[in-house]
Amino acid sequence: MTAHRSNEHRLVSGLGLVTFISLAATWIATWPLFVSWRIGPLIIGLLLGVMIINATRGGFSERFEPGIRFSAKKILRLAIILYGFRITFTQVASVGIVGITLDLFMVASTLFLGTVLGVRYFGMDKATAILTASGAAICGAAAVVATEPVVKSERHQTAVAVATVVFFGTLAMVLYPLLYRTGIIPLNEQDFGIYIGASLHGVAHAVAASDAVGPEAARVAIIVKMTRVLMLAPALLVIGWWIHRQSKASGTGAPITIPWFALGFLGVAAFNSLDLLPQPWVQRLVQLDTFLLTMAMTGLGLGTRLSQFRGIGVSAFQLAFCLFIWLVVAGFTGTWVLSSIL
């Protein structure tokens, strides 16, 4: 009984710590510098968690571990389910055949290329390769942490993958408007919006880059980007099936992981498409979801030691660089070809 109460106390203490850091991250994200660079509370929460746990050499983590683990896993899954309130099927239909086809191609090809390059060429473990690829292919950090339960990765592997998304997503956010302004990419504003939505890493990256291009690009980019977000659920199902198949072939016989939270995400998106809730309620749910995601990222950071990066950090960034080049080139080529023939 004493041990049970002790564990409950550590759970509550850990959740309290994660909540406090997440509130701090939410406040810091309102500072002008972070607003101008579109650095949101998710990334700040992750960085604060990493800095705190490494500054203290992990000395206090035992007391808070149950709450930290609960945030990084259970709260994460609830946050992914509520992520469905950010999109409707009507938005998906409005992007047309060009946007949907391009999104399907970019998600599938980037996941495949990232996994193959990471494992076979860079010698990475399968989990880190898939995490890095999913972040580039779908919706940045949110996709990475959503993929974590499916590939059963360690928290430091997830943190490395998130770091690659933040770095190259921010680089792309600055690069794309320059490509448009200089005329290096010969696309009109609407098609450039499709290009941004189909190839930038995170939602915030796509919003910032398209805002810098123009209002029409911003309108199209966010819809195309959110269509990619909707592909998160089927992508997780495919990844879970593929890992199960690989384990059977190798004789390990690991059971198939069905990401039920991904199906919950689809269910919430379907419910949101019915437009039954007033928009102010939906906005409140989106704000709640952002905070829950911040808690999940903070928990992830608090479970990450920098010493764990040795051996996988360099390879992950090399892979992420290759995927960055792929997104820039294939995204433009796909947009240009599909816009020309459809």
Reported as a single tens digit per residue, the pLDDT across 174-210 is 899 999 989 999 999 999 999 999 999 988 889 889 9
- List the domain range (segments joined by +) for residue 229: 86-292+308-341
Q: Confirm whether 60 is domain-assigned.
A: no
Q: Confirm whether 38 is domain-assigned.
A: no
Q: Confirm whether 214 is domain-assigned.
A: yes
DSSP state, 124? Answer: -
Q: Confirm whether 51 is domain-assigned.
A: no
DSSP 30-98: TSHHHHHTT--HHHHHHHHHHHHHHHTTTTTHHHHHHHHHHIIIIIHHHHHHHGGGG--HHHHHHTHHH
* pLDDT tens figures, 256-312: 666 788 889 999 999 999 999 999 999 999 999 999 999 998 998 888 777 766 666
Q: Confirm whether 1 is domain-assigned.
A: no
Q: Confirm whether 61 is domain-assigned.
A: no
pTM for this prediction = 0.86
Tell me if 315 sits within 8 A of 118, measured CB to CB: yes
d(CA 318, CA 48): 25
Q: Confirm whether 189 is domain-assigned.
A: yes
Q: What is the largest CA-CA distance in the chain?
A: 69
Q: Confirm whether 268 is domain-assigned.
A: yes
Q: How many domains does the chain have?
A: 1
d(CA 118, CA 129): 5
